[in-house]
Amino acid sequence: MSGIPASAFSPAARLGRIQPSPSTAAAARVRELKAEGRRILDLTVGEPDFDTPEHVKEAAIAAIRAGETKYTPVNGTPALREAIRGSLRRTHGIEYSDAEITVGGGGKQVIFLALMATVDAGDEVLVPAPYWVSYPDMVRANEGEPVIVATSAENRYKLTPEALEAAIGPRTTWLILNSPGNPSGAVYSEDELAALAAVLRRHPRVSVLSDEIYSEISFTGAPAPSLAAVAPDLRHRVLVVSGVSKSYAMTGWRLGYAAGDPALVKAINTLQSQTSSCPSSISQAAAAAALSGPQDFIARTVPVYAERRDAAVAGFSAIDGLEPLIPDGAFYLSVDCAGLIGRRTDDGRTLADDQDVTLYLLDRAGVAVIQGSAYGRSPFFRISFATDLGTLTAAVDAVAEAVAALR
């Protein structure tokens, strides 16, 4: 290794508390195998396979041509904030004031800043499992303690009021609620949210970070309900986080937002002013067009996701040892694989956990999925059906064949 100097890099302690996002690690493994020339049916991807709607792209191009290429206000352009307020009014019937809106480089960044603005060392954040991979590490990176709250299949992996009550302690700062959920696809009904609200009323220090990034990708016929709308008296304690990535196929534009207590929003803006100053002006123009323009893209794509969901549910249900949980929203399917644990591969290895199952499916079937342990619940794996029906059905067939080869 001559010629390469030893690194003088000395990581901060907080870096030791976190890991790179496992979904990104899975994507890297898939890229490696593809580079080796293997054909991989990739069901790991957490982003729509659709292209950004044309009118949105046009709005971005027009913004560039009009010279909207400078810094914007930290909390976004007035046009974007107005579009966000309109979207929240349309989906949830909630009227937010301008001072209650903040924007960032993706919902992910907004969540991170919200935690950074509120969590002190040792503060606890309740994270129902299965959870989106990033929540616990975002809490840890901000020196908080994620408290993982178990859910059960009987409750369709949703937090119950009893489990919430039992998990709240003197240091609890936040509850993170994610509906529709990644990876479960579970959607909390208005009644379920009202029952959680009843518990929260007894614990005035606990706020709720309501991650609603998939709210419009809902198969129930209406956007997933928001706690902020169901319990208006708690509205100032609920930070609604959303973005354009999923609903409008705009993951690469990096634009997310949040709505909540003006004091919290102001604190997030202060941090934003010292981190990115503002999200890309061009992405803001695009997002404003997505949120305030025609909504036919959502009306067109949700039935496509629903068709794929039905195909995936039917396909995986028919495989002995696998049990999918029918999702009511988002574009993920959690498949319980307890029935495969303990089975043996034809080269004599025993599948001990969902990591083994995932590696087996990748090697033997050429199908990439993500193991449940990444989401804090085992044994299962997550597939994404944000991919074409052909790939999905080919993957189901390949998994069926690989499972049939187990002993």
- State the residues that interact with ligand PMP by CB under 6 A: 46, 106-108, 132, 178, 182, 211, 213, 243, 245, 251, 256
Q: How far is the CB of 288 from ligand PMP (least distance, A)?
A: 16
Round to whole Å and give the CA distance between 393 and 315.
Answer: 7
Q: How far apart, in Å, are the Cα atoms of 347 and each of 262, 343, 352?
A: 60, 12, 15
Q: For residues 77 and 247, which CB has a smaller minimum distance to ligand PMP in the complex?
A: 247
Residue nearest to ligand PMP (CB): 106
Burial class (CB in 10 A: 0-12, 13-18, 19+), 116: middle
Round to whole Å and give the CA distance between 199 and 124.
Answer: 17
Q: For residues 316 and 375, which CB has a smaller minimum distance to ligand PMP in the complex?
A: 375
Round to whole Å and give the CA distance between 197 and 190.
Answer: 10
Q: How far is the CB of 331 from ligand PMP (least distance, A)?
A: 10
Round to whole Å and give the CA distance between 183 and 56.
Answer: 28
Phi, psi of 180 (to 5 degrees): -60, 145
Q: How far is the CB of 178 from ligand PMP (least distance, A)?
A: 5
Side-by-side strand order, sheet with 238-243 = 101-104, 256-259, 238-243, 207-211, 172-178, 124-128, 145-149
- Residue 126's SS3 state is strand
Q: How far is the CB of 95 from ligand PMP (least distance, A)?
A: 23
Phi, psi of 2 (to 5 degrees): -65, 145
Decide if 106 contacts 243 (C-beta within 8 A).
yes
Residues comprising the chain, all counted: 407
Q: Kindly write down the DSSP assignment for every residue of 376-390, as one continuous string.
A: T--SEEEEE--S-HH
Q: How far is the CB of 199 from ligand PMP (least distance, A)?
A: 22
**What residue type is 120 in one-letter code?**
D
Q: For residues 248 and 360, which CB has a smaller minimum distance to ligand PMP in the complex?
A: 248
Q: For residues 251 and 378, which CB has a smaller minimum distance to ligand PMP in the complex?
A: 251
Q: For residues 269 and 351, which CB has a smaller minimum distance to ligand PMP in the complex?
A: 269
Q: How far is the CB of 256 from ligand PMP (least distance, A)?
A: 4
Token digits of residue 223: 């956007």
Q: For residues 124 and 211, which CB has a smaller minimum distance to ligand PMP in the complex?
A: 211
Distance of CA 284 to the CA centre of its chain: 21
Q: How far is the CB of 46 from ligand PMP (least distance, A)?
A: 4
Spell out a b/e string for 9-35, using b for 16 or more CB atoms within 10 Å of the CB, else e. eeeeeeeeeeeebbbeebbeebeebee
Q: How far is the CB of 132 from ligand PMP (least distance, A)?
A: 4
Q: For residues 30 and 365, which CB has a smaller minimum distance to ligand PMP in the complex?
A: 30
Q: How far is the CB of 213 from ligand PMP (least distance, A)?
A: 4
Q: How far is the CB of 211 from ligand PMP (least distance, A)?
A: 5
Q: For residues 127 and 403, which CB has a smaller minimum distance to ligand PMP in the complex?
A: 127
Q: For residues 46 and 379, which CB has a smaller minimum distance to ligand PMP in the complex?
A: 46
For 286, what's the count of Cα atoms within 13 Å in the CB-facing half-sphere? 27
- Residue 299's SS3 state is helix
Q: For residues 118 and 215, which CB has a smaller minimum distance to ligand PMP in the complex?
A: 215
